[in-house]
Chains A and B, each alone.
Chain A
């Protein structure tokens, strides 16, 4: 059973465009939602994270939007660059300290 559902599976965006990746969850006990970026052959790197008491968090070109009532959250990458091309994972955690990951979105930013 997939605790966190992520879409799309792959995404192609023009340089300078906005990349949007969506995630949904069912378990209302989740209270911490990080996003990770992974390059081929590397470990996941923490990008940005949010708690459900805020609806939006922005760090540079990366923004998390959170909709608690809909149990959905999304990652927006503004002014996408070729160097952003990677696989992005959303995740959720709810007190047990183990993260439940989405299945990943492979982002390709074309020049």
Chain B
């Protein structure tokens, strides 16, 4: 039973480019969460999705960030026009009913 999968594991972008991060939840899980972790800090909630619906996006920056979880395929976190401050580790978690949440290995985004 594969765990939560994220790709790419490492992503390098120049300022102004777009970053697309993908997350495939565990089998049977329909709840997906995205968190951001800055160096030496804890994880900060960004967005909670169920299939085709955004349930809670209270942690998402108002501009440049968007997320989706289509009926088919992985969840996508999209960051447009990246800036250096977007450099962080982005983790996806999934759950069957809300908790527990199981985390993927993360995508480490570096903005040059």
Contacts and interface: CB of A to CB of B under 8 A. Distances in A.
Given A43-B91, A44-B91, A98 B103 contact: no
Contacts of A93: 98-99
Interface string A90-105: 0001001111111110
Contacts of A46: 100-103
Interface residues of A, number: 21
A45 interface: yes
B55 A97 contact: yes
Interface residues of B, number: 27
A75 to B, nearest CB: 15
Given A43-B105, A43-B106, A44-B91, A97 B100 contact: no
Contacts of B100: 34, 46, 49
Contacts of A96: 48, 56
Contacts of B95: 97
A97 B105 contact: no
Interface in B12-58: 31, 33, 35, 40-45, 48, 55-56, 58
7 contacts: A6-B42, A36-B103, A49-B99, A89-B42, A97-B48, A99-B33, A101-B35
Interface of A: 6, 32, 34, 36, 42-46, 49, 89, 93, 96-104
Given A44-B43, A99-B35, A101-B43, 4 more contacts: A42-B106, A49-B100, A98-B48, A104-B42
